[in-house]
Amino acid sequence: MTDATEHMPLATSRSRSQVNAFVTLSENYYARQFKAIGDKRGFLFTWNWAAFLLGSIWYGIRSLWAYFLPFVALETIAVVQLARGLWGDLGAPILARLPGIEATLAQRYEQLADAKDNDPDRVEGFQNAIASLERAIEGIKADAAAANAQALTLVLSGLAALLVIKSIQAVLANTALQMRFAKWLSDQSLGHGLSLAKTALAAALTLITYVTCSLKFGFPEAVPALQGFPADQSIQASVADSIKAWITRASIQSEWFFDGLVFCIRSVLDTLETIFVETPWPVMCGFILLLTGLSAGLRAAIFTGAGLAYLGYLGFWDKSMQTLALLGTAACISVTLGIPLGIACARSSKLYAIVRPILDFMQTMPAFVYLIPIIAFFGTGKPAAVIATMIFGGSPVVRLTVLGLKGVPESVREAAMAYGASKRYLLWKVDIPLAMPSIMAGINQTILLSLAMVVIASLIGAKGLGEDVLEALQYASEGQGILAGLAILVCAMMLDRIIQGKRR
């Protein structure tokens, strides 16, 4: 008991020194608050006057940036309401419509005077139009006056909202800082203490937000530059012309390379089209049903048979086979290139750091955007559609191959190396078999994403089911579009059952 009592002041002193190092200022206050919050189960109501007075700036000073950003946004809404109520001309946007209506009214008066001299039958019509315009002008003036009368309401609501927001900030401040302190105890690289740089940054961001938003919404005509980014259209035109010139020059200089690539793709595509389209349909049906049965079981084979019957009886057989040939070409090339690339990236972090942004670009760039350079380099037709499909669907097989290989337990690899396994044996007999579920999932995702490009690829000359969907969109043929879309769905589900069954 005596030993424990002797050590308590030492522990308290160490705790106070840690709090002092963290908060820099008012350490006694924060030490008491942190202890009370830590001892309390659940939320403890506390009040921080510094946070109440400084608002979001206090949170920035204390490195609580996750709180700083939403509080700045909320405070800005209240400040804008105050600025509009105190100094804004609320009726100005409404009165801005008056010049146009007044110009029309003056024109109608001139037409009325001319009609009285030359065409009396139209006098009444012009008089009615003038009366209507005058009523509209009076209504606009009344609306502007009513808007200006709401200034006090805006001021009161803005002030009330600001007080509520600041009260919330004051209540949350100590709890948020205590949570930050708990994290700082285990990781003292986190931002803490007070510094002039953080204070200046938080104050500058807050004031800039307040001022610019108040000027934009409260005084729209005061600073025209705030109504839209002051862009120079000539810069866009010059950059676009430069890109176009570069693409033209590159396509001419590299014509031999792209022609060779198109030849290789067309060779594979023609071979698959011959197999899928020219082979008698009973043979293809039997082969697909057998493959499905062996891979996914009898139930999946029955479903596949129903899907094949749908494709055949509704006249989609040839186009479905063309779609599968296009898809097969893109998927084969993507898998053939993607798996070795994924293996290399899993073995080299530097290579994956280079490849990963390219994969991000392939997945995030809209398909319609990269169709433009594809057409410039490859023209239109099926080879260009294969390239577009590969770009869109080739990323998952690389990513999931890397994920699967990095997920192989190190203990298994170390045991294999302890028994004298070579690098080649380790790759083919340990790493790839253990990573195979992830690799198969990548192949499955690549094939299904490639199938999702069927309709977009039809825009640049690819045949198949996507062409029917595109025609249905152009001519508003709902029935044809739905039937062709269901045919694409059937193809996707059949492929998914086959591949998923194999993966299981």
Cα-based torsion angle of the residue sequence 398, 402, 404, 405 in order, rounded to the nearest 10 degrees: 130
Q: What is the pLDDT of residue 2?
A: 39
Residue 3: pLDDT over 60: no
Per-residue pLDDT, averaged over 307-329, amounts to: 84
The answer to whether residue 238 is domain-embedded is no
Per-residue pLDDT, averaged over 401-418, amounts to: 87
Q: What integer best gives the mean pLDDT of the chain?
A: 82
Q: What is the pLDDT of residue 449?
A: 82
The answer to whether residue 120 is domain-embedded is yes
Contact indicator for 86, 155 with CB cutoff of 8 Å: yes
Q: What is the pLDDT of residue 10?
A: 39
Shared domain check, 293 and 213: no
The answer to whether residue 236 is domain-embedded is no
Query: Which domain CATH number covers 301?
Result: 1.10.3720.10
Q: Name the residue among 365, 335, 291 with its Cα closest to residue 442.
A: 335
Contact indicator for 383, 266 with CB cutoff of 8 Å: yes
Q: What is the pLDDT of residue 72?
A: 92
Cα-based torsion angle of the residue sequence 6, 9, 11, 16 in order, rounded to the nearest 10 degrees: -170
Domain extent for 24: 14-90+152-227
Q: What is the pLDDT of residue 220?
A: 67
Q: Residue 172: what residue type?
A: L
Q: What is the pLDDT of residue 364?
A: 82
Q: Could you give the percent of the chain with pLDDT greater than 90?
A: 12
Q: How many domains does the chain have?
A: 3
* Angstrom distance (rounded) from CA 146 to CA 126: 30
Contact indicator for 367, 456 with CB cutoff of 8 Å: yes
Which tops the pLDDT comparison, 504 or 488? 488
What's the pTM?
0.64
Shared domain check, 389 and 300: yes
* Angstrom distance (rounded) from CA 490 to CA 301: 13
Shared domain check, 416 and 267: yes
Shared domain check, 175 and 295: no
* Angstrom distance (rounded) from CA 354 to CA 360: 11
Shared domain check, 322 and 395: yes
**What is the number of other CB atoms lying within 10 angstroms of the CB of residue 440?**
18
Quick one: how far is CA 416 from the chain centroid? 43
* Angstrom distance (rounded) from CA 461 to CA 473: 16
Q: What is the pLDDT of residue 501?
A: 65
The answer to whether residue 36 is domain-embedded is yes
Residue 7: pLDDT over 50: no
Convert the pLDDT of each residue in 176-199 to its tens digit. 999 998 888 888 888 778 888 888
Contact indicator for 461, 383 with CB cutoff of 8 Å: no
Convert the pLDDT of each residue in 467-499 to its tens digit. 888 888 777 777 888 888 888 888 878 877 777
The answer to whether residue 244 is domain-embedded is no
Q: What are the two backbone dihedrals, phi and then psi, of residue 315, each rounded to the nearest 5 degrees?
A: 80, 20
Q: What is the pLDDT of residue 4?
A: 39
Q: CA–CA distance from 318 to each of 33, 290, 292 (Å)?
A: 75, 20, 20
Shared domain check, 290 and 198: no
Residue 106: pLDDT over 90: no
Let me know the angle formed at the C-alpha of 401 by 397 and 403, rounded to the nearest 5 degrees.
Answer: 120
Q: CA–CA distance from 162 to each of 68, 75, 76, 103, 114 (Å)?
A: 15, 6, 9, 43, 59
Q: Is 35 exposed, middle or buried (0-12, 13-18, 19+ CB in 10 A)?
A: middle
Instruction: Write down the H helix ranges in 119-232.
Output: 123-149, 151-186, 196-218
* Angstrom distance (rounded) from CA 488 to CA 481: 11
Contact indicator for 327, 389 with CB cutoff of 8 Å: yes
Residue 62: pLDDT over 60: yes
Contact indicator for 170, 52 with CB cutoff of 8 Å: yes
Instruction: Write down the H helix ranges in 379-408.
Output: 382-393, 395-406
Shared domain check, 298 and 178: no
Which tops the pLDDT comparison, 488 or 367? 488
Q: What is the pLDDT of residue 164?
A: 94
Contact indicator for 265, 337 with CB cutoff of 8 Å: no
Residue 503: pLDDT over 60: no
Which tops the pLDDT comparison, 171 or 424? 171
The answer to whether residue 245 is domain-embedded is no
At 115, list the tokens: 């009609």
**What is the number of other CB atoms lying within 10 angstroms of the CB of residue 261?**
16
Residue 68: pLDDT over 80: yes
The answer to whether residue 130 is domain-embedded is yes
Shared domain check, 99 and 86: no
Q: Which of 6-10, 43-47, 82-86, 112-116 has the highest mean pLDDT?
A: 43-47
What are the DSSP calls for 60-108, one per residue? HHTT-HHHHHHHHHHHHHHHHHHHHHHT--TTHHHHTTHHHHHHHHHHH
Which tops the pLDDT comparison, 20 or 3? 20
Which tops the pLDDT comparison, 342 or 499? 342
Per-residue pLDDT, averaged over 226-232, amounts to: 72
Q: What is the pLDDT of residue 83?
A: 83
Residue 14: pLDDT over 60: no
Q: What is the length of the chain?
A: 504
b/e code 300-319 from CB counts within 10 Å (16+ = b): bbebbbebbebbeeeebbeb
Q: What is the pLDDT of residue 176?
A: 92
The answer to whether residue 23 is domain-embedded is yes
Shared domain check, 345 and 409: yes
Shared domain check, 206 and 121: no
Per-residue pLDDT, averaged over 110-139, amounts to: 80
